[in-house]
């Protein structure tokens, strides 16, 4: 493929710009030269515009059509002037973008401006395809949910002094066994396992989703902001801090020796508006997929521990 077919040779050649976008995605180094030339073209056009503004215009030919075609001409002449060696500005930009190092010898001892936080970076970034996010954490079944989150649940439960099954059951209710963890509009996993909302003092990431709240026993849909985390472990840790630092949950924390009393204490303190919140968690805890796998995981963890003494 010839150079003429891989670069935008006229200012309205959108195919050429699309080819440059693809090149920037797959071969960043080879695209830097053309990106630098495009930026130099913009600079030249700005110079031409400034020079034209400095010249008095005739009222006889100063029409909208003339200005339109004059702008088209300036666009094209800017591209033509920056072909080949250009004005030398593109070489400086290339060096800042990590391109050819040959320019460094030519400007040795001269401190070049940092273009990384300027339009150069933004122009180059715009030519690249959007970054594809990695697939969100996928949990396929209640068993998978328990096996995946058991270590984090044990650590968090130890800090609170409660049974790890309580945390698994509560998070399972909040997320539908991991099938309905809140995601952002672009599909980013919030890792929010306990439905903790983002209060005014929350300084971390958030995700806005539609939720169901109960007002006088009636379910009402609302849009609300919830906390977002980088991992499920971070969600467990924040849940522990949320309960320990909030005075209204102190009575519930005093009943950690009884799973049911602890859960009912959370509901009484206003953790959730669902009047059946505690009953649902207790029901999940009684299911065999938690009790049997819990015992199995305990045995598995003990078997993997190194022998002492």
Instruction: DSSP for the chain, please give it.
Output: --HHHHS--STT-HHHHHHHHHHHHH-HHHHHHHHHHHHHHHHHHHHHHHHHHTSPPPTTT--HHHHHHHHHHHHHHHHHHTSTTTTSHHHHHHHHTT--SHHHHHTTT------TTSHHHHHHHHHSPPPPPPPPP---SHHHHHHHHHHHHHHHHHHHTS-HHHHHHHHHHHHTTTTT--B-TT--B---SS--B--TT--SEEEEEEEEEEETTEEEEEEEEEEE-SSHHHHHHHHHHHHHH-GGGHHHHTTTTSHHHHHHHHHHTTS-S-TTHHHHHHHHHTSHHHHHHHHHHHHHHHHHSPP--
Is 213 an annotated catalytic residue? yes
Is 305 an annotated catalytic residue? no
Query: Which entry of 19, 34, 91, 238 is annotated as an active-site residue?
Result: 238
Query: Which entry of 106, 213, 230, 254 is annotated as an active-site residue?
Result: 213
Instruction: DSSP for 129-180, please give it.
Output: PPPPPPPPP---SHHHHHHHHHHHHHHHHHHHTS-HHHHHHHHHHHHTTTTT
DSSP, collapsed to helix, strand or coil, labels residue 207 as strand
How many residues does this entry show for the chain? 309
Phi and psi (nearest 5°) for 219?
Answer: -75, 130
List, by residue number, the catalytic residues: 213, 238
């Amino acid at each position: 493929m010839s150079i003429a077919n891989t670069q935008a040779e006229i200012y309205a050649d959108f195919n050429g710009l699309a080819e440059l976008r693809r090149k920037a995605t797959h071969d960043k180094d080879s695209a830097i030269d053309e990106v630098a030339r495009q930026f130099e073209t913009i600079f030249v056009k700005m110079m031409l515009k400034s020079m034209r503004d400095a010249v008095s215009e005739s009222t006889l030919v100063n029409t909208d059509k003339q200005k339109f075609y004059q702008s088209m001409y300036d666009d094209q002449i800017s591209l033509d002037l920056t072909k080949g060696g250009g004005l030398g500005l593109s070489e400086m930009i290339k060096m800042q973008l990590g391109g050819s190092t040959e320019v460094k010898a030519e400007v040795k001892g001269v401190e070049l401006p940092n273009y990384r936080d300027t339009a150069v970076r933004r122009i180059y970034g715009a030519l690249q395809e959007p970054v594809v996010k990695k697939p969100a954490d996928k949990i396929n079944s209640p068993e998978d949910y328990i096996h995946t989150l058991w270590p984090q649940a044990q650590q968090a439960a130890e800090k609170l002094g409660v049974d790890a099954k309580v945390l698994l059951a509560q998070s399972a209710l909040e997320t539908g066994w991991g099938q309905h963890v809140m995601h952002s509009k672009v599909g980013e996993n919030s890792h929010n396992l306990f439905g903790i909302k983002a209060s005014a003092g929350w300084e971390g990431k958030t995700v806005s989703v539609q939720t169901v709240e109960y007002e006088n026993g009636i379910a009402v849909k609302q849009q609300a902001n919830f906390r977002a985390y980088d991992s499920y472990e971070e969600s467990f840790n924040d849940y522990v801090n949320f309960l320990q630092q909030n005075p209204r949950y102190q009575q519930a924390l005093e009943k950690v020796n009884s799973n049911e009393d602890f859960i009912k204490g959370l509901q009484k303190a206003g953790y959730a508006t669902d009047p059946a919140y505690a009953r649902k968690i207790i029901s999940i805890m009684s299911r065999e997929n938690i009790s049997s796998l819990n015992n199995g995981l305990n045995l598995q963890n003990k078997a993997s521990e190194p022998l002492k003494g």
